């Protein structure tokens, strides 16, 4: 991929920057991006550990139409996948590249839209007790989807929003309007709730991250013990819950995604793809 980046940056065969305010300029840009995107896919197929596991054959046509017909709308990218699949890690890599190249991107997590369950946790004593008594934390009804839907619509129209913040300290507290998210040109949203029925069609690009279950389990158990100070017994119990929840609530959306990404791909390679995308979208005469 570095060869493609260097070739792009050092090439003398560049197109004039199109006038994005005109339809013909946007059509030229779309044709250019289609060619480059197919180049990325062709390169990726030859890799020993490719990042693109599946691509929706209708994506390029649908996305091209969206760019041409609705250029002023912010680009919403939804990233979902089962727990410990690597979606948060991918978003951290995106954030790193954003900061490196000063790209106009905002990132938010749907985990901040969990319902406030502080009173329920007080009633049952702990979150684990609440879960063991049947509370389905990953169900669509456990999220503030009305607020998420409203916030995504406002962001797509260019308005900044104040999103809630769910405290990851076991108290189940959700603080309303706690953090500002700026409406930049690209909005990346990660979490299991991105593809829930109420909000999934708001996204221009739908990404599903997939990783082998054994790798996910090892990641999850390690994180539960090291970051959340859980016992192995309780971590395994929660792993059993999220496995069934993932099968029920998350995995069905794999077939609806535009891309299925390899959650165990080399992050350096992923970063190079992002760098190449930055190069091709900013390297005009």
CATH number at residue 230: 3.40.50.300
Strands of the sheet containing 205-210, edge to edge, are 52-55, 259-262, 205-210, 75-80, 186-190, 105-109
**Quick one: tokens of 4?**
């493609």
Q: pLDDT per residue over 142-182, tens digit each?
A: 999 999 999 999 999 999 999 999 998 889 999 999 999 99
- Give the pLDDT confidence score for residue 214 in this predicted structure: 92
Q: pLDDT per residue over 67-105, tens digit each?
A: 899 988 999 999 999 999 989 888 888 888 888 888 889
**Quick one: tokens of 77?**
């990218």
In a domain, 42, yes or no: no
**String of b and e for 133-158 (b: at least 16 CB within 10 Å)?**
eebebbeeebbbbebbeebbeebbee
In a domain, 10, yes or no: no
The domain of 140 spans 52-264
Mean residue pLDDT of the chain comes to 89
In a domain, 38, yes or no: no
In a domain, 140, yes or no: yes
Reply yes or no on whether the pLDDT at 18 is more than 90.
no
Dump the DSSP string for 239-259.
HHHHHHHIIIIIGGGGGG-SE
Output the pTM of the full model: 0.91
Mean pLDDT of 125-141: 92
In a domain, 217, yes or no: yes
In a domain, 39, yes or no: no
pLDDT tier at 206, thresholds 50, 70, 90: very high
Reply yes or no on whether the pLDDT at 205 is more than 70.
yes
**Higher-confidence residue: 95 or 109?**
109
In a domain, 255, yes or no: yes
The number of domains in the chain is 1
In a domain, 20, yes or no: no
């Amino acid at each position: 991929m570095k060869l493609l980046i260097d070739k792009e940056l050092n090439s003398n065969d560049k197109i004039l920057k199109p006038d994005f305010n005109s339809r013909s300029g946007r059509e030229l840009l779309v044709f250019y991006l289609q060619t480059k995107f197919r180049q990325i896919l062709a390169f990726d197929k030859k890799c020993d550990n490719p990042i693109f596991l599946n691509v929706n054959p209708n994506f390029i046509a649908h996305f091209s139409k969206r760019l041409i017909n609705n250029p002023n709308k912010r680009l919403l990218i939804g990233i979902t996948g089962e727990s410990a699949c690597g979606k948060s890690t991918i978003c951290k890599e995106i954030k790193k590249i954003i900061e490196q190249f000063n790209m106009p991107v905002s990132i938010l997590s749907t985990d901040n839209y969990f319902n406030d369950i502080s009173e329920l946790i007080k009633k049952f004593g702990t979150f684990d007790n609440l879960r063991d008594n049947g509370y389905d934390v990953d169900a669509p009804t456990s999220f503030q989807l009305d607020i998420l839907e409203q916030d995504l619509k406002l962001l797509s129209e260019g308005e900044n929003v104040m999103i809630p913040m769910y405290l990851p300290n076991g108290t189940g507290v959700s603080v309303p309007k706690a953090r500002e998210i700026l409406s930049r040109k690209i909005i990346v949203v990660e979490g299991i709730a991105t593809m829930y029925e109420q909000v999934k069609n708001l996204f221009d690009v739908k990404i599903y991250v997939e990783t082998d279950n054994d790798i996910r389990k090892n990641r999850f158990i390690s994180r539960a013990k090291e970051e959340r100070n859980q016992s192995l017994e309780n971590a395994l119990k929660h792993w059993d819950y999220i496995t069934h929840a993932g099968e029920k609530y998350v995995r069905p959306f794999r077939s609806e995604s535009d891309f299925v990404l390899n959650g165990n791909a080399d992050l350096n390679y992923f970063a190079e793809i992002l760098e190449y995308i930055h190069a091709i979208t900013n390297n005009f005469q």
